[in-house]
Amino acid sequence: MSVESLGIVGTGLIGASVGLAAREAGVGEIRGWDVNPDALAAASERGALEAAGSLDQAVSDATLVVVAAPVAALPVQVAAVLAATTDGTTVTDVGSTKTPVTRAVSDGRFIGGHPVCGSEAHGAAHATGGLFRGATWFLTPDATTDPERYRRLHGFVASLGAVPVAVDPQAHDRLVALTSHLPHALANVLLNQAGSSRIDGHEPLAAAGGSLRDMTRVAGANPRIWVDIFLDNAEALAAALADHRRRIEQVEQALAAGDAGFLARWIGEASDNRRRMLADAYEQPGTLQRLRVHVPDRPGVLAGITQALGAERINIEDFELQHLSRERGGTLTLLVGGEEDAERARAILEAQGYHVVISPVLE
């Protein structure tokens, strides 16, 4: 059974992206509603959905309804959708936590969900139909879930380009506490530590290097969203923080004891784990080469670099730009597969006047 019509409740970045992706997947009728009329208008202007005048209008007769409200509002919004629809409608959500909403909603028509994607941006203006391509999309069916409903939702998620994965709600929350919520919390801690310190009159943030920038990319993310996420998943996040504290204490003990062996094993273990993580993102992570290129702040620089490498059929696996200032420009980091292509890329860029430093992504 396919999704003939889709209802979307909550039209921010994720909700609007669901609408755009569903349009690309061939879903004809997509109606949406949001408590914020400006957000709804923005999603409608993007072509993600047809704006409805009320929640009931958005979800009535829909084959599937996706609730994309903030996590604190999910139980109430999901209950409202279930009350406004009939047995022919399947309801899911896209919240970052799953235990609270699945405990609050006891209806076999509801199957919790969470696409593991997004960006630092928010709002329908930044929505894109490609947001879910290749992303894990967790689903939380239980013993009351009708197999046909789950098959429909599973197929819809796959049609958006995501990879549906079934998971227990509590296991989901422990998993994202470690892989998402803990990194956000630690990024805030680290940046606040650097921002509140002065060392012999020097401002640490003014001397920030690439490592601090890399580790704090998600710091300061939208507090309207992240306060609710932290509190909704407080138990699992607190447990992850406690385990993190124990591991920090092990490093402190090794430093106090001058235990070089522990530190070497600790770094080696991190290298192995990073290799395992990258293996899911890249076909051959061991061959990846990192090219760091200093670039000026002027229009057309990035386009010129990518076009020059593309003309020589050098595939850029990934890239990141770290902007320093208008005067100093920034550092462009390119990931290229294989030493031969990396050296070819260096020769092309150095011929254009750029300075390039190559290093392997994995030692």
Query: What's the mean per-residue pLDDT of the chain?
Result: 92
Which of 121, 152, 167 lies at the terminal end of a domain, its last residue? 167
Look up the domain containing 310 and give its range: 285-360
Q: What is the DSSP letter of 123?
A: S
Tell me the percentage of the chain whose pLDDT exceeds 90: 72
Residues 96 and 221 in one domain: no
Residues 109 and 12 in one domain: yes
Element (H, E) at 156: helix 147-159
Average pLDDT of 19-27?
A: 94
Taking a C-beta distance cutoff of 8 angstroms, is the pair 325, 340 a contact? Answer: no
Q: What is the DSSP letter of 314?
A: -
Digit-coded pLDDT (tens) for 109-158: 999 999 998 666 678 888 999 999 989 999 999 988 999 999 999 999 99
Average pLDDT of 65-69?
A: 96
Digit-coded pLDDT (tens) for 181-223: 999 999 999 999 999 988 888 888 887 777 888 888 889 988 9
The predicted pLDDT at position 275 comes to 87
Residues 153 and 66 in one domain: yes
Q: How many domains does one find in the chain?
A: 3
- Cα distances (angstroms) measured from residue 261 to each of 249, 257, 266: 16, 11, 8
Residues 67 and 196 in one domain: no
- Range with the lowest mean pLDDT among 1-5, 316-320, 326-330? 1-5
The predicted pLDDT at position 125 comes to 87
Residues 10 and 105 in one domain: yes
Which of 167, 182, 200 lies at the terminal end of a domain, its last residue? 167
The predicted pLDDT at position 1 comes to 45
The predicted pLDDT at position 340 comes to 92
The tokens for 105 are: 């909603």
Q: Is residue 122 part of a domain?
A: yes
